[in-house]
């Protein structure tokens, strides 16, 4: 394997479930393999690595893979974690689009030296092409943030007495939306002028379908005046039925965080409630201040206090994001009671194209049938995975394996638990069914 990596001329694409790297042990086989990736990058080869992110399971592969992530990132290598809600169990490498290395080996001292493992090196451009096509469909955590395809929002806007808190207090969703649209269309010019027009803003606000030209221009003028006079965010000059001029009010060199352009490109600005939009910004703001990728920890009370919003706004907004599988929430154990539980862990899974989700859903329906998949998705919603294709397919498989009566009973047991109970997740359902099978209560 090391020899093949050392001979790579053009590209190395790797998807690996686990890399157990000790940076201090430079003589280990894992370090030598990682060093070959860095050397290939230095030679000018394209190197891309996708690692599994398993923070929500008992086996914390992400804590191991994080060292490898930082090692590769520090050397300028393109490296990502997969979606937090999916297990990527691949151990495969494609070199120069013609050589494939795949098998059971993780990159760990145990796998490379002690375990009984088998992997193959195959020279096949066709197999390489198929694997690269599969790699391209792996959903990545926070890819939009990592690639910098973002709109900058100042941290000060999120402060306890900031403008976001004020807009939420006033239930001013349209004011919130048009402000973000102006930020999206601002190119950073020194004069602060926004290159936009009535039609662009009307389209962004969803007004073209509901209002005629006069009505939506009047509404946009009203919103711009509010941004100008009430929130002090823009300087706007408008005359009825005439082109307008908008200038952003900014402070020099303001520190901020990124809003992925996928927020607009994939229609999340239309799909999410105002509470959910604010909670999305909270997630992005928290992630922007942390070195550990795509996760952060606070209690609901701490979030409400820090950002000056109600606990209900936090609860309802985060729930919508969780239901859509934009974030994953791992709640602390409650063995010692709710008062002593650890803060929840929030993980950003990313913003996705709903059309791709629907296409994936149709593929699952072609395997299991639409009626079965509809029932499986209803069950998946119980554990907040109704928009997670892997979970939906897994539930469909459980129905086929154990029967719907047994699956229904297991999900009813889980559904009785509070939304913030750490046992309200799919793994607990699977555990119930597995234990009943061991006891002979259900059969395959």
Sorted by sequence, the CB contacts under 8 Å of residue 238 that are 6+ apart come out as 221, 224, 225, 244, 245
Spatial separation of the C-alpha atoms in residues 340 and 336, rounded to whole Å: 6
In degrees, to the nearest 5, what angle opens at C-alpha 320 toward C-alphas 175 and 339?
110
HSE value, Cβ hemisphere, 13 Å, CA-based, for 347: 21
What's 412's DSSP letter?
H
Spatial separation of the C-alpha atoms in residues 380 and 419, rounded to whole Å: 14
DSSP assignment of 281-314: HHHHHHHHT-SSTTEEEE-HHHHHHHHT--HHHH
Give the active site residue among 10, 26, 63, 89: 89
Q: What are the tokens at 378? A: 């209803």
Give the active site residue among 52, 82, 96, 269: 96
Residue 104 near residue 118 (C-beta atoms within 8 A): yes
Residue 129 near residue 271 (C-beta atoms within 8 A): no
91 has catalytic annotation? yes
Please classify residue 171 by burial: count the beta carbons closer than 10 Å to its beta carbon, then call 0-12 exposed, 13-18 middle and 19+ buried.
exposed
Give the active site residue among 41, 91, 105, 385: 91
Helix, strand, or coil here: 125? helix
Q: What is the dihedral of CA 121, 123, 125, 130, to 10 degrees?
A: -20
DSSP assignment of 352-370: --HHHHHHHHHHHHHHH-H
89 has catalytic annotation? yes
Residue 95 near residue 101 (C-beta atoms within 8 A): yes
Mind telling me the catalytic residues? 89, 91, 96
């Amino acid at each position: 394997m090391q020899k093949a990596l050392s001979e790579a001329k053009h590209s190395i694409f790797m998807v690996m479930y686990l890399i157990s790297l000790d940076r201090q042990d430079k003589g280990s086989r894992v370090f030598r393999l990682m060093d070959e990736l860095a050397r290939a990058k230095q030679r000018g080869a394209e190197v891309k690595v996708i690692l599994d992110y398993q923070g929500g399971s008992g086996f914390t592969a992400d804590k191991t893979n994080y060292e490898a992530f930082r090692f590769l990132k520090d050397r300028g290598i393109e490296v990502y974690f997969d979606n937090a809600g999916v297990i990527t169990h691949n151990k495969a490498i494609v070199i120069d689009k013609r050589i494939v290395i795949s098998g059971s080996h993780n990159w760990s001292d145990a796998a490379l030296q002690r375990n009984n493992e088998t992997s193959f090196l195959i020279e096949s451009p066709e197999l390489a092409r198929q694997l690269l096509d599969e790699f391209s469909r792996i959903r990545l955590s926070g890819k939009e943030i990592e690639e910098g395809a973002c709109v900058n929002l100042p941290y000060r806007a999120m402060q306890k007495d900031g403008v976001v808190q004020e807009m939420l207090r006033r239930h001013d969703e349209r004011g919130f939306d048009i402000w973000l649209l102006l930020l999206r269309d601002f190119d950073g010019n020194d004069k602060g002028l926004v290159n936009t027009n009535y039609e662009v803003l009307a389209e962004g606000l969803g007004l073209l379908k509901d209002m005629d030209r006069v009505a939506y221009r009047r509404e946009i003028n009203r919103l711009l005046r509010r941004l100008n006079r009430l929130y002090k965010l823009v300087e706007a000059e408008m005359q009825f039925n005439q082109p307008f001029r908008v200038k952003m009010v900014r402070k020099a060199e303001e520190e901020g965080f990124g809003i992925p352009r996928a927020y607009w490109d994939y229609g999340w600005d239309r799909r999410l409630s105002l509470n959910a939009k604010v909670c999305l910004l909270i997630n992005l703001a928290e992630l922007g201040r942390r070195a550990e990728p795509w996760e952060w920890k606070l209690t609901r009370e701490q979030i409400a206090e820090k950002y000056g919003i109600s606990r209900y706004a936090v609860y309802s907004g985060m729930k919508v994001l969780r239901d859509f599988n934009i974030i994953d929430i791992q709640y602390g154990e409650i063995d010692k009671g709710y008062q002593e539980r650890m803060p929840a862990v929030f993980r950003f899974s990313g913003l996705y194209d709903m059309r791709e989700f629907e296409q994936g859903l149709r593929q699952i329906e072609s395997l299991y049938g639409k009626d079965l998949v509809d029932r499986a998705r209803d069950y998946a919603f119980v554990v907040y995975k109704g928009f997670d294709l892997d979970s939906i397919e897994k539930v469909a498989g459980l129905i086929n394996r154990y029967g719907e009566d047994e699956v229904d009973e297991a999900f009813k047991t889980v559904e009785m638990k509070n939304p913030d109970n750490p046992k309200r997740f799919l793994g607990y359902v699977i555990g119930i069914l597995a234990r009943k099978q061991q006891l002979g209560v259900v059969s395959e």
